[in-house]
């Protein structure tokens, strides 16, 4: 698959801007981002959503909003085909996966990536492209407390690894313990890092320790 993904913890922060623009391959001013903030619906404090919008604007990108709750497979495909970048933001991962399934997004994303669309994930938006979203429950102090009836954690499986977002040292014991429950590779990202995916090639970009579990080199 000719997929291009930019999987972040906290969106297109300054430390990641150059890497993202290189992936985009053209002047950001000539690109339009479809901004999907559905995952933020259950969150009381939605300040991070506007912060993500601001980061995109600072990178020179134009933004158009889309809510998965208002779409079906056909309308989604038609609308998303018009954009260069599909940005799926953070919030509650289980709520997001529920609407990714209900809206038909799950059924069309592979085809959109084949067309050359770039997928950008932030936090929950990065989790849903992994094989599972089980890791949303791993941080004992701050898990996704509400799972919105989702009992099947299988996700889009666009990449063969699991992502942990917003990693700081205080989470290390939780993550190390939970990582032993799977043989899949795990990448722990701080808020200045991303995983850049181009086809079969993946690399961690940004600033900070490149922290992985269940894999020697990533």
Domain of residue 12, residue span: 4-213
The CATH number of the domain holding residue 125 is 3.40.50.880
Specify the number of domains making up the chain.
1
Q: Does residue 218 lie within any of the structural domains?
A: no
Residue 49 lies in a domain: yes
Give all strands (DSSP E) within the chain, no chain letters. Answer: 4-8, 32-36, 62-66, 85-88, 118-122, 162-164, 186-188, 193-198, 201-206, 211-213
Report how far apart the first and last C-alpha atoms of the chain are (Å, whole number): 19
Q: Residue 155: is it exposed, middle or buried by C-beta count within 10 angstroms (0-12/13-18/19+)? A: buried
Q: Does residue 34 lie within any of the structural domains?
A: yes
Q: What is the pLDDT along the chain (218 residues), one digit of tens a residue?
A: 589 999 999 999 999 999 999 999 999 999 999 999 999 999 999 999 999 999 999 999 999 999 999 999 999 999 999 999 999 999 999 999 999 999 999 999 999 999 999 999 999 999 999 999 999 888 765 556 688 999 999 999 999 999 999 999 998 998 999 999 999 999 999 999 999 999 999 999 999 999 999 997 77
């Amino acid at each position: 698959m000719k997929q291009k993904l930019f999987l972040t913890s906290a969106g297109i922060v300054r430390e990641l801007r150059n890497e993202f623009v290189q992936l985009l391959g053209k002047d950001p001013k000539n690109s339009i981002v479809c901004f999907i903030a559905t995952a933020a619906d259950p969150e009381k404090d939605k300040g991070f959503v506007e912060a993500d919008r601001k980061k995109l604007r600072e990178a020179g990108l134009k933004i158009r909003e889309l809510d998965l709750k208002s779409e079906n497979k056909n309308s989604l495909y038609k609308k998303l085909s018009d954009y260069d970048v599909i940005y799926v933001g953070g919030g509650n991962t289980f709520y997001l996966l529920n609407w990714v399934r209900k809206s038909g997004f799950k059924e069309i994303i592979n085809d959109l990536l084949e067309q050359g669309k770039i997928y950008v994930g932030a936090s929950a938006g990065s989790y849903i492209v992994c094989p599972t979203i089980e890791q949303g429950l791993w941080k004992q102090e701050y898990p996704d407390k509400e799972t919105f009836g989702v009992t099947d954690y299988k996700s889009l499986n666009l990449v063969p690894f699991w992502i942990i977002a917003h990693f700081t040292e205080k989470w290390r014991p939780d993550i190390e313990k939970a990582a032993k429950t799977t043989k899949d590779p795990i990448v722990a990202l701080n808020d200045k890092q991303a995983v850049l995916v181009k086809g079969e090639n993946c690399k961690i970009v940004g600033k900070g320790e490149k922290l992985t579990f269940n894999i020697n080199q990533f």
